[in-house]
């Protein structure tokens, strides 16, 4: 799971698809990483673009690094290890 998250966040435009996560691991992303996601959203290191916005590939919600998150990527990645 951690490798999936780090790889997804490294794809800065695509990000991490919640639907892809659930299809692969059989669990909702926010059930597994609820605290980490909430903290990173609050810190402004990741974002969840609105439906239909850039980053929503018609596959449900997507999480991706913000511009600030790209500068501090290791701070994001270490929460999923």
pLDDT per residue as tens digits for the range 2-53: 999 999 999 888 899 999 999 999 999 999 999 999 999 999 999 998 655 4
Instruction: Give me the numbers of helices (H) and strands (E) for the chain, helices first please.
Output: 6, 3
Tokens coding 19: 């639907």
Radius of gyration of the chain (CA): 11
- How far, CA to CA in Å, does 31 sit from each of 13, 34, 68, 70, 71? 24, 6, 25, 24, 27
The structure's pTM equals 0.82
């Amino acid at each position: 799971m951690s490798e999936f998250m780090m790889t997804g966040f490294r794809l800065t435009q695509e990000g991490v698809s919640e639907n892809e996560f659930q299809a692969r691991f059989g669990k909702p992303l926010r059930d597994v990483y609820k605290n980490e996601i909430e903290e990173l959203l609050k810190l402004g290191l990741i974002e969840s673009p609105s439906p239909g916005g850039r980053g929503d590939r018609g596959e449900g919600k997507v999480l991706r690094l913000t511009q600030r998150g790209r500068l501090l990527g290791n701070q994001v990645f270490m929460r999923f290890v």
